[in-house]
Structure 1
Amino acid sequence: MILISYLFYLQLVRGFEFKLRARAVARRVLPIPAQRGEIFDRNFDLPLVVNQDSFAVDIIPGELNAIEREELWARLSPVLRMSVDTLKKKVPPKYYYLYQPVEIKSGVNFETITYLAEHIDDFKGITWHNKPIRHYLETGSIVHIIGHVGDISREEIQVLYNRGYSFGSVLGKSGIEKQYDTVLRGKDGKRFRTVDVREKYLAQETEENISPVPGKNLVLTIDRRIQRLSEEALGERIGSVLVLKPATGEVLALVSYPYFDPNIFYTDRAAVEYDRLSLDPSFPFINRAIQSAYPPASTFKMVMSTSLVEEEVFPLSKEIICTGWIEYGDRIFHCYLRKTGHGPLDFFGGLAQSCDVYFYTLGDALGVERITYYAREFGLGKITGIDLPGESDGFVPSPEWKEKNRHMKWLGGDTLNLSIGQGFLTVTPLQLANVVALIANEGKVFRPHLLKEIRDIDGEIITTVEPELLHASHIRKSTFRTVQEAMRLVITEGTAEVVLTTKAVEIAGKTGTSEVGLEERWHSWFAAYAPYETDDPQEQVVVVVMVEAENEWEWWAPKAANVIFQGIFAEQSYKEAVETLKPWWYIQELREQRDTGLDGQEAAAGRQE
């Protein structure tokens, strides 16, 4: 009787529990990949990146013995265009007894799958599944914004496993794809299968499958037209361009050259191309607009000018006589006009002409502590918090830092170098854009951002990104207005007068030329905003162009900015803007092209004769 009662208890009372436990032991869950969200520019018309139908090829190792496995590698290698050694690395010995699929290649086209299906008897243990790949429709400089995706690595899975990632997951590797990966990736579905003790599939439980949830679409602040305009204005010069709205922090364009085509990572040459790009001495993977820091040179004089006006260390009308050099201790510090100097200059003339002697004098009067204070007040030496990974924080030096790290005391000459944006000071182009934005906004700067909206697959807005105040300065508004006036004179009477020729808008800005120790080579900077005066702050844009000294010296930054401002405010393409401006350097290029063409025609005529 006791035995019967116990059997009744096991079968009826605890039977359902045992059934669930047995089912859990015999059931396996396979992911159904979710459709990754698309990415658009601010106009939300055409996507910048979409999903393209593709497949992944799997192997079930447990179905093969050692001989069959070696034969399979030999047959599969030419079909998938992978070496035998690469295939073997995909399936280490510890997987040989698994009856679960192990992915060996993604991004496989339909023709290859068709061939495998038609010759399936020759490819024992091979299966495949649908796995869309990313297709980047815009492949120029915008790659540094969007980034790219790839299969999750073993190192990444150790960190992200508890967040729903697994082997075979596609993960954002850089840019927006990485920053907003959890928003874009959606939620994978689940496919349930029953297995035996050897993990071999017995049945598929289709009625209990859980459908995947597609990822959200992202709308960026980027304007495709301004991005392309800026890219063409920079040309094939190592450097960067940033265009942002100071009233909101929205980034309208972010260009970094060189760049690369992310679609190559879905070709048979992916590994070779990745190695080639990684070893390229021009570092195409670096987003120079946010990840590279340089001496700001004379653009730092905007910060110095603000400190002079605010601190009132001496009157703005006081004239400093520039003879081309200044003696400080036992050293001579030169102005860039070494032979003649600028003569007597007040504050407005000092900034307009970018006189080094004027700012040496100012720096000595301010002292290093006040200079570094104002540098940090403008946000230098720390990241802006833009929604892109890998931002550099630049560097603002101090006497304490030099003594601790260089084991040397801070000297007066260090202060003079700092005063003209040289020495140990470094800034990113994005940080310099925020410097200009703080001046244009008369004391407020908003966090730069690239995400404008999150939308569902039907296009309905889920989230709208609002401007975030990054910093409100204590500096008087009247101080900023005085600096704005001086920056306008840089364009109308100063160093940028000969190149900033656009009539489409009034500009206020500052040039900069960084010494980097290369003969006849310098970094070229230009940072500005426009319109100079407006009743609608939403109209204003900040443009920062940085051209590295690795390029042949052309003083290109202000030239490129001239075209960019023309294109933005006249709503013109790069070609239309250049045709409108007809700058002297463009006319010279046309003449050279014409002369080259004539020489070619004459040579051809000579050959015909």
Structure 2
Amino acid sequence: MQNNEFQNMGDDSPKKNIKIAFLTVFIAVVFGIYVLKLFSLQIIESYRYKDRSERISKQETVIPAQRGEIYEREALVPLASNSDSFAVNVVPGEIPRELYDTVITRLAGYIGVPRKVIDAKIKSRSDYSSYEIKTNVSFDVISNIAENITELPGVSWRNKPVRTYIGMGSISHILGYVGNITEDEYKRMFNEGYKKNSVIGKAGIERQYDSYLQGIEGKEVRTKDARGRILDSVPQITPPQTGKKLVLTIDNRIQELAEKTLGERVGAVVVLRPSNGEILAMVSYPYYNANIFSTDEYAAEYNRLTTSPNSPMLNRAVNATYPPASTFKTIMTTAVLSERAFPPDRYIRCTGKIEIGDRVYHCHNLAGHGLLDLKGGLAHSCDVYYWVIGLEHLGVNKIAHYAKEFGFGQSLEVDLPSQSSGFVPTPEWKQRRWRQNWYDGDTINISIGQGDTLVTPLHVANMMAMVCNSGVIYKPHLLKEIRNPVTDEVEKVVEREVLHESTIEKNVWRQVKYDLRYVITNGS
């Protein structure tokens, strides 16, 4: 029995050997085919693939986008437009050493710059930094360079248009100006699509609505070989998109009239449309010529402007604060009527002065106004009348409350990059700031818009608009609408927006309007 088992095992052995041999041959064949394929790819066909990779590449050329234009309210006259201009750059390290002199000489001829000027700007032939060789280059010159770009390795250009503003000087504070993006600005804005060579708005509307004005760059893609020869007959072009067309609320006729009326007096004029908050005119003097920022001398001029004692770059309409003075008596009149603090037909005698403790405060009319009721006190802007009202019938807390009701001490959210909120003093503030108590003299000051009370000219204009609207303040704004730069289709209209609606009774507003009209017909 045991012998039979060994016999059977012996009979199976040749079959197993055949199977093993067959499997070994099969593996060897597969491995051989794999090795041959690798050999073919790496040795035989490598030259073909290498040749293809070396001779085919893509070249992208940026097509600059025009910055959007800015127009006055009728959309007929451009306030800010563009003059075609470019900057030519060279990266010397990208120029083959044997072609360097030829390329630079050719470029000098194209842009009309002596060869020695270009050499002076380039620190090293092997440097991979981008050097700006010339600015204010025309579109025709750039077109000529583009047509011969295969002969100019290392040469590029970028959109650097000259921003042009209309001649009216007072428009500068509204529009602002543009300039090259700084390193700090780029760090903050790079994730918004800005580049290191971007030109951005630096002030005014140019800065406030820069994202609308920027536009989107296009590009031209060409296929070329290792020698720079173009392989495709038609380039792949993604056209640029011009920035949006902005239409402002500014009325050029009113703006010009306001400019002439203010003349060369340091100050500001603001004209509002009460029904919707549109700013029809905004003038601040002294102003500056925004066109200087498009010249090569802009750095020196900017330094002169920012160090001038007259601060010509300060928009006094929204950034400078002043005591509201007698305009504050409009708020005092509203407060008296709303609080029923003192009968409007009861008289107060103005003798030209008032004594508080050991101090004497004089009215602007030293002889005195005599007996005055509320409308008479407003019409003649009598200090004594409002001192008595403030001290004896309203008090500082109610005065401060009504000042804030009119938007004083608060941002009016005008669409400009910066603005002052002004300031309304209170006893709590004085104690916190100066560690001092509030005195009657402080109430004397605040009652006629003096002392620590500070507002911008826009606050005062908005105060009067609130009276016209019987207690409603609309957000003041300079942008009227946004249009498509190609079709001129209106894409967005800025609707009026309520900033604040007072709870003061309507009959109070009617009386305040009547008293203000009385100022015109019977006032001083």
Task: Give TM-score scaled by structure 1 length.
Answer: 0.69
Residue deviations 1:296-331, cap 9 Å, x none? 001001011100000011111121111111111232
Matches within 5 A, 1:120-519: 128-129=157-158, 131-192=160-221, 207-338=235-366, 340-364=367-391, 365-456=393-484, 457-495=486-524
Task: State the SS of the aligned residue for 2:384.
Answer: helix
The answer as to 2:84 corresponding to 1:56 is no
- Any conservation in 2 of the 1:49–1:138 contact (CA below 8 Å)? no
- Any conservation in 1 of the 2:222–2:235 contact (CA below 8 Å)? no
- Any conservation in 2 of the 1:34–1:186 contact (CA below 8 Å)? yes
Task: State the SS of the aligned residue for 1:150.
Answer: strand
Q: 1:399 to 1:30 in 2, by over 3 A?
A: farther
- Any conservation in 2 of the 1:37–1:185 contact (CA below 8 Å)? yes
How far is the alpha carbon of 1:57 from its aligned partner?
2.2
- Any conservation in 2 of the 1:352–1:494 contact (CA below 8 Å)? yes
How far is the alpha carbon of 1:48 from its aligned partner?
1.6
How far is the alpha carbon of 1:5 from its aligned partner?
5.9
Task: State the SS of the aligned residue for 1:288.
Answer: coil
- Any conservation in 1 of the 2:62–2:158 contact (CA below 8 Å)? no
Residue deviations 1:449-479, cap 9 Å, x none? 1111111122111111111111110001111
Stretches of structure 2 that go unaligned for 5 or more consecutive residues are: 1-29, 42-48
Q: Aligned equivalents of 2:502 and 2:482: distance in 1?
A: 31
Q: Aligned equivalents of 2:325 and 2:433: distance in 1?
A: 23
Which residue is 2:10 aligned to? Answer: none
Q: Aligned equivalents of 1:114 and 1:188: distance in 2?
A: 17
Q: Aligned equivalents of 1:488 and 1:415: distance in 2?
A: 27
Q: Aligned equivalents of 2:207 and 2:518: distance in 1?
A: 43
Task: State the SS of the aligned residue for 2:480.
Answer: strand
- Any conservation in 1 of the 2:224–2:231 contact (CA below 8 Å)? no
Which residue is 1:97 aligned to? Answer: 127
Identity over aligned pairs, percent? 47
Q: 1:469 to 1:201 in 2, by over 3 A?
A: farther
- Any conservation in 2 of the 1:107–1:266 contact (CA below 8 Å)? no
Q: Aligned equivalents of 1:171 and 1:463: distance in 2?
A: 22
Q: Aligned equivalents of 1:171 and 1:136: distance in 2?
A: 15
Residue deviations 1:240-271, cap 9 Å, x none? 11111100111111111111111112223222
Which residue is 1:576 aligned to? Answer: none
Q: Aligned equivalents of 2:32 and 2:276: distance in 1?
A: 78
How far is the alpha carbon of 1:64 from its aligned partner?
9.1
Which has the greater radius of gyration?
A: 2
Q: 1:329 to 1:59 in 2, by over 3 A?
A: same
Which residue is 1:569 aligned to? Answer: none
- Any conservation in 1 of the 2:221–2:235 contact (CA below 8 Å)? no
How far is the alpha carbon of 1:402 from its aligned partner?
1.2
Task: State the SS of the aligned residue for 1:430.
Answer: helix
Q: 1:487 to 1:134 in 2, by over 3 A?
A: same
2:389 maps to a residue whose letter is L
Residue deviations 1:311-368, cap 9 Å, x none? 0111111211111111112322221122x11111111111111111111111112111
Point out the more displaced range, 274-283 or 427-436. 274-283
- Any conservation in 2 of the 1:218–1:451 contact (CA below 8 Å)? yes
Q: 1:469 to 1:389 in 2, by over 3 A?
A: same
1:48 maps to a residue whose letter is L
Task: State the SS of the aligned residue for 1:142.
Answer: helix
- Any conservation in 1 of the 2:288–2:312 contact (CA below 8 Å)? yes
1:56 maps to a residue whose letter is A
Q: 1:5 to 1:54 in 2, by over 3 A?
A: same
Task: State the SS of the aligned residue for 1:252.
Answer: strand
Alignment match of 2:65 (pick from 21, 34, 53): 34
1:314 maps to a residue whose letter is F
Q: 1:64 to 1:27 in 2, by over 3 A?
A: closer
Which residue is 2:22 aligned to? Answer: none
Residue deviations 1:3-28, cap 9 Å, x none? 866979xx9xxxxxx99xx99x9767
**RMSD of aligned Cα (Å):** 3.7
How far is the alpha carbon of 1:131 from its aligned partner?
3.5
Residue deviations 1:205-261, cap 9 Å, x none? 873342211111111111111111111111111111111110011111111111111
Q: Aligned equivalents of 1:487 and 1:192: distance in 2?
A: 68
Q: Aligned equivalents of 1:4 and 1:479: distance in 2?
A: 101
How far is the alpha carbon of 1:195 from its aligned partner?
10
Residue deviations 1:164-222, cap 9 Å, x none? 1102211111111111111111111234478999xx97879873342211111111111
2:381 maps to a residue whose letter is S
Q: Aligned equivalents of 1:319 and 1:431: distance in 2?
A: 31
Residue deviations 1:391-440, cap 9 Å, x none? 11111111111111122122121111000000000000111111001101
- Any conservation in 1 of the 2:220–2:235 contact (CA below 8 Å)? no
Q: Aligned equivalents of 1:116 and 1:363: distance in 2?
A: 75
How far is the alpha carbon of 1:139 from its aligned partner?
3.8
How far is the alpha carbon of 1:104 from its aligned partner?
5.2
Which residue is 2:77 aligned to? Answer: 46
1:411 maps to a residue whose letter is Y
Which residue is 2:12 aligned to? Answer: none
Point out the more displaced range, 403-412 or 156-165. 403-412
Kindly tell me the number of residue pairs found equivalent between the two proteins: 465
- Any conservation in 1 of the 2:72–2:248 contact (CA below 8 Å)? yes
Q: 1:3 to 1:440 in 2, by over 3 A?
A: farther
